[in-house]
Amino acid sequence: MRQPDIEIYLKDYDVDYKAVATWLSAALGSCSEWEKKGQTFKCVAGGVAVTWLPKAVGKWNSLHLDSDQTPWDDDIACARAAFAALNVEVRCAPGTWVEEESDETADRWIRISVDGEEEIVWHTA
């Protein structure tokens, strides 16, 4: 089932929103100029609203695609594509997050890096 939106986390010192814009332009379509709003950067890529939040979790940047109209069915597919295009460590939730899930379940993440793909426990709070 296709997720309603996508959110992945990219390791900070390895990538910035400009590199992400280049990748998104190739994957989704032309990327508008980024607008800085507080700590976040926003643009539209191929009709998809994009939010980039630097250092959302420690040294990890959040990339949020607010649409179900992307080439990726879920966070994991997008994370794999981001890793392949940007060669940067990426983390994402293993499935759709819901408010009612336990803290233990919320700390389960997928890590994609040069070491491969693995499930990890990542305490983000």
* pLDDT tens column, 82-108: 999 999 999 999 876 555 555 556 689
Residue 46 forms part of a structural domain: yes
Residue 37 forms part of a structural domain: yes
Query: Based on the structure, what is the number of domains in the chain?
Result: 1
Q: Which residues of the chain have pLDDT under 70?
A: 1, 96-106, 125
Spatial strand order of the sheet with 48-57 comes to 35-37, 40-45, 48-57, 60-65, 6-11, 90-92, 108-113, 116-121
Task: Please answer whether residues 90 and 75 qualify as being in contact, where contact means their C-beta atoms are separated by less than 8 angstroms.
Answer: no
Residue 63 forms part of a structural domain: yes
Residue 110 forms part of a structural domain: no
Q: What pLDDT is stored for residue 101 in this prediction?
A: 53
State which residues form the domain around 78: 6-89
Residue 120 forms part of a structural domain: no
Residue 81 forms part of a structural domain: yes
Residue 107 forms part of a structural domain: no
